[in-house]
Structure 1
Amino acid sequence: NLTARFNITDWLYRQGRVGQDFYSRDVDYNLPTGSQRQSAPPPGFVNGQYVQDLRRFREINADFLIGADKTFGNFGVSINAGGNQMYRRSDVNTELGENFFTRGLYTIGNASKVTPNYSISERQVNSLYAAAELSYNGFLYLNATVRNDWFSTLSAANRSILYPSITGSYVFTESMSNLPSWLRFGKLRLAYAEVGSDTDVSPYANNLFYGINAQQFPNPSGSFQPVGSINGSTVPNADLRPMRVKEKEIGVELTLLRNLQLELSYYHKVSSDQILQAQISDASGFLTQLINVGESENRGVEMFLGVSPVKSENFEWNSSVNATYNTSKVLSLGDDVDGTFITVGSAEFHGELRQVVGEEMAQLYGWGYLRDAQGRQVFDPNNGRPLRSEEQLAFGSALPKWWGGFTNQLIYKDLSFSFLIDFKLGHKMISGTHTNAYRHGLDKATLVGRDVGYVIGEGVNPNGEINTTQALIQPYYETIRSGRMSEQSVFNAGSWQLRQISLGYDLGKLIPNNKFITGARVNLVANNVAVLKKWVPHIHPDQNGIIADTDVGLEATGLPVTRSIGFNLNLKF
């Protein structure tokens, strides 16, 4: 990274910066001969795979800024304007070798079939922006910004978006006299802001591409040849527009009794033209379609409380609590959508994620058990197995209503100790791990009936009579798979967790006085330490099989959440 700043006068300056992030990864690996998942090789060869994978990534940011800071009596003025260019590129070069001539020799040259693949992805965002701050006598402030972005991932007609913001604040403790002595600081703020984004749409997502199909088909002469096909499963959309978020906020900040901080704010946010992948019928030749979705809103309250109960010469205790309460609602789906909902994500056999007009965002839906008008479960009179609901059921939102954390820091001389407890509450999850455990007899609920080899479900038959049919135990619990039922695997996704513990020591006193090293500190940090409370069985509450916003709440047997313990040494020069 390189930064250059030039002070033209004592109140006018110009600045330029350029920075680059880069990494390269070179990996090779093999699937040994005889692995179970591999198909039989052609005569005279041994099966197996060898892969060489080279990946390169580079992101360059370059910006310039011209600014001025000037005071005129009780007034202060700060103005700056500039621009930024972000360029990102990734290259992937892969060679796959299969079916070897010589057993145990894992090289591309030893493979009878070699499949090369090269892909490149480029993305660029050009931006111009300006900001201004006007202050009066240290207690009145007015800030305004304006920014225009141009996204290379969108079509030329739609890639530009302009968005402003304005904020006013009033530090009333600096302008009002005769305030209580316990009120040390007080500020009111009011803000309106807009933000634009392309939602990190994949480069070239608005173009249709073709490729060579891996399967070969016979031509009129009887020989086999490959054919062309559409390359991709998402319908491109050349009319995609940038999404826009408009937010209003009002808040207050207070400092009481020297050691107590309180912040409280209310916000209302409306998002329009969100870019989502809506699922469509695979009869179209595609699986999803990129569309702009109408409007949704979030509104809520953010709270912060900080206190220092003890502060002496050798010992200090700092504590803070932050919490957010948020409610959401889908206002409309826009002109591009027919109906009152769209499906934006799904997990095979156990549910889907929808955006439904008039409901909270991220609604989980899935098949459940058939019930009569009195709410009694209905069973098949012939085999005793549960019957499936006639329509998919709504299980609730996958987005938490409450989240926050509780932090404590204890400092004794040069030794410090801190920990963070956080929470997420008020949302649901469909657990694919539980579905598999249930149908394979690994969940404790499936203990019922093992002693006799059958289950008599508690409920009625379709005629309303008490169910007395014996169901063989294995088919009974496997019904949820064939019927794609999710109801038994819906859980409260909330949790309380000990997220982080940190122990540190300041080594400054142990270092001889010199001009080269001015400070040193060592820290031992543990993350994802423990789950204090959860409601979903078998898995960590943060676990999600597909890590994507469109599949939130659909857990699908992903890798467990990891606990990490780290050691770091910080030196100041």
Structure 2
Amino acid sequence: TDLFAWRNLTSYSNKYMTQPGGGLNNLGNPDVAWEKNYSTNVALEFGLFRNKLFGTIEYFNRDSKDLLQNVPISTITGFGSILRNVGEMNNKGIEIELGSDIVKNENWKWTLSANAAIIGSKITKLYGGRDIVWFDPTGGDDRARFIYREGESSLSFFGLEWAGTDQTNGKNVWYTNDGTNGDFIFNGKAASYDYKKAKQTIIGNANPKLYGGINSDVDYKNFSLGFNFAYKIGGKLYDSTSKDVADDGYYWERIHAAYFTENSWSPSNTGGSYPMVTGRDLEDVNQISSRQLFDASYLRLKNISLSYRLPNEFLKRAGISNARVFFNGSNLLTVSKYKYMDPEVNQFGTRGWETPLAKTYTFGVEFSF
């Protein structure tokens, strides 16, 4: 949190007419106050069947008041936003972790564990009662827009609902969501070719329904094998790279992605799922549409490790107390409906041109003397 958000700040880093010059670089809000959090946690830790099955179950509830948020303001001020206390939010959920020593004897040991979190985050009150539209802080207005609305998720994407492509003419279709019949009915809902007739609405939620991990560790004599999986079920992600390489002509000077050109509608490809590229998209409206939202669910093999510990009888002769040969691999396998880039995104459910997580392979030998 900016400790000086309550006051105006001046910067003297620029010059004016060859002389030292100053300018306002922070628009203060004298009414801003500290955000307050009230938390309750209840946990149960257990072990059953002589601790063969073990785990923890934890319930938590956190109410946040005087929620701090950068709120867009008129750019006539020279600034795009100001920090304000905007409302109240509730976060609650259950976190469960279970584990078991499935096999445990002189030669074998297999431990399997899994954890899951079900968390809900909701805006419970907005001071003034009005919705607040805000931008992804990791990318400004070049990325997603969110909305704070009473009773809705704290990470609700806000924009136009893209209905798809009309296969008869290759045009974009927008659901109007304004209570009227629109210009026509498309897939059972009121729609229009003109996005200006469509009302912006909540188009998705970045919060997943469930997320967690699965771990397996197997030891057999001197061999060890371990797996670590991460998963997420539900929620949406916003891909800002999609608007750059799969637009309708706004970025006419850029190269389109192969998945877009191969699936764009044309007279010879009337089954294309993307609209016809016309070169007349002058407003980049798809930036704020559900067309850039994708299913955020995935299953990823985060880590795999295989090692062999050399027998001590061979090591003692060389004056070595311990030696191990190992292999580690990271991010080697990912299963997801989202195929274009990395489905593991930031806490706001968005991604841009950041370098995705790389696959890594590590081989090594460890010695202890």
Asked if Structure 1 and Structure 2 have the same fold, meaning a TM-score greater than 0.5 normalized by the shorter chain, the answer is yes
Is residue 237–residue 293 contact of structure 2 (8 Å, CA) maintained in 1?
A: yes
* 1:340-367 CA-partner distances (Å, limit 9, x unpaired): 3352536535530233221111111123
Q: Which amino acid aligns with 1:541?
A: P
- Matching of residues 182-193 of structure 1 within 5 Å: none
> Residues 325, 512 of structure 1: CA spacing in aligned structure 2 closer, same or farther, 3 A cutoff?
same
**Post-superposition offset of 1:435:** 2.0
User: Are residues 249 and 326 of structure 1, via their aligned partners in 2, closer, same or farther at CA, if it must alter by over 3 Å?
Assistant: same
SS of equivalent to 1:528:
strand
Q: Deviations along 1:265-303, whole A, 9 cap, x unmatched?
A: 333222334433333332222223223343222222222
The answer to whether the aligner puts 1:435 opposite 2:243 as a matched pair is yes
Tell me which structure has the larger Cα radius of gyration: 1
Match of 1:396 in 2: 204
Q: Distance in 2 between matches of 1:300 and 1:327?
A: 6
CA displacement at 1:518 relative to structure 2: 5.9
Answer with 490-499 or 307-316: which moved more. Answer: 307-316
Match of 2:250 in 1: none
- Describe the SS at the equivalent of 1:271: strand
Q: Is structure 2 residue 225 aligned with structure 1 residue 417?
A: yes
1:264 Cα offset (Å): 2.8
Question: How far apart are residue 320 of structure 1 and its match?
Answer: 1.0
CA shift for structure 1 position 321: 1.4
1:247 Cα deviation (Å)?
Answer: 1.7
- Cα 1:521–1:255 change in 2 (3 A) is farther
Q: Higher RCO, 1 or 2 (CA under 8 Å, sep at least 6)?
A: 2
Give the structure 2 partner of residue 450 of structure 1. Answer: 266
| Offset at residue 226 of structure 1 (A) | 5.5
Taking the aligned partners of 1:558 and 1:304, their CA distance within structure 2 comes to 32
Structure 2 counterpart of 1:330: 123
For residue 493 of structure 1, report the CA deviation from its aligned partner.
1.1
The answer to whether structure 1 residue 341 and structure 2 residue 132 are counterparts is yes
Pairing partner for 1:229 from 16, 23, 36: 23
> Aligned partner of 1:396: which letter?
G
Q: Residue 297 of structure 2 corresponds to which residue in structure 1?
A: 494
Show the counterpart of 1:24. Answer: none
In structure 2, the residue corresponding to 1:377 is in which secondary structure? strand
Query: Residue 145 of structure 1 aligns with which residue?
Result: none
C-alpha displacement at 1:415, in angstroms? Answer: 1.8
Residue among 358, 369, 377 paired with 2:191: 377
Cα distance in 2 for partners of 1:443, 1:569 equals: 43
**1:472 deviation in Å?**
6.8
Q: Give the structure with the higher percent strand.
A: 1
Change in Cα spacing, 1:235 to 1:522, as seen in structure 2 (3 Å) is farther
Q: Which runs of no fewer than 5 residues in structure 1 stay unpaired?
A: 1-200, 218-223, 380-385, 459-470
The amino acid that maps onto 1:212 is Y
The CA deviation string for residues 194-219 of structure 1, in whole angstroms up to 9 with x for no partner, is: xxxxxxx24544443212364645xx
- Change in Cα spacing, 1:451 to 1:249, as seen in structure 2 (3 Å) is same
CA contact (8 A) 2:145 2:288 kept: no
1:535-550 correspondence runs (5 A): 535-543=337-345, 549=347
Q: What is the CA–CA distance in structure 1 between the aligned matches of 2:289 and 2:264, rounded to whole Å?
A: 19
Q: 1:506 to 1:237 in 2, by over 3 A?
A: farther
In 2, Cα distance between the equivalents of 1:568 and 1:240?
53
Q: What is the aligned partner in structure 2 of residue 463 from structure 1?
A: none
Q: 2:48 is matched with which residue: 255, 258, 270?
A: 255
The aligned residue for residue 504 of structure 1 is 307
C-alpha distance in 1 between matches for 2:283 and 2:317: 71
Supply the AA of the counterpart residue of 2:212. G
CA distance in structure 2 between the partners assigned to 1:245 and 1:265 by the alignment:
17
Q: Give the structure 2 partner of residue 475 of structure 1.
A: 279
Aligned partner of 2:169 in structure 1 is none
For 2:23, the aligned partner's letter is S
**Whole-Å Cα distance in 1 between the matches of residues 341 and 8 of structure 2?**
40
Structure 1's 526 and 237: CA in aligned 2 closer, same or farther, altered over 3 A? farther
1:300 aligns to what?
93
Provide the C-alpha distance between the structure 2 equivalents of 1:568 and 1:245, rounded to a whole number of angstroms: 48
2:28 aligned with 1:212:
no
Alignment partners' CA distance in 1, 2:117 and 2:287: 35
Match in the other structure for 1:557: 353
Deviation at 1:541, TM superposition (A): 0.4
CA contact (8 A) 1:455 1:473 kept: no
SS for the counterpart of 1:348 is helix
| Cα pair 2:35 2:64 within 8 Å, conserved | no
Cα gap change, 1:378/1:457 in structure 2, threshold over 3 Å: closer, same or farther?
farther
Q: Sort the Cα spacing of 1:511 and 1:333 in 2 relative to 1 into closer, same or farther, 3 A.
A: farther
1:176-197 deviations in Å (ceiling 9; x for gaps) = xxxxxxxxxxxxxxxxxxxxxx
Alpha-carbon deviation of 1:558? 2.4
Q: Percent identity?
A: 22
Partner of 1:244: 37
Task: Work out whether 1:524 is the aligned partner of 2:318.
Answer: no
Offset of residue 433 of structure 1: 1.7
Q: Which residue of 2 aligns with 1:70?
A: none
Q: Distance in 2 between matches of 1:310 and 1:555?
A: 42
**1: distance between equivalents of 2:214 and 2:272?**
48
Q: Which residue does the alignment assign to 2:81? A: 288
What SS is found at the alignment partner of 1:488? Answer: helix
Q: Which residue of 2 aligns with 1:267?
A: 60
Deviation at 1:482, TM superposition (A): 4.8
Superposed CA RMSD: 3.6
Q: Distance in 2 between matches of 1:449 and 1:422?
A: 37
Structure-1 separation of matches of 2:323 and 2:332: 26
Matched positions, count: 337
Asked whether the 8 Å contact 2:243–2:287 carries over to 1, the reply is no
Provide closer, same or farther for how the CA distance between residues 485 and 269 of structure 1 changes in structure 2, counting only shifts above 3 A.
Answer: closer
Unaligned runs of 5+ in 2: 162-173, 248-254
3-state SS in 2 of match to 1:475: coil
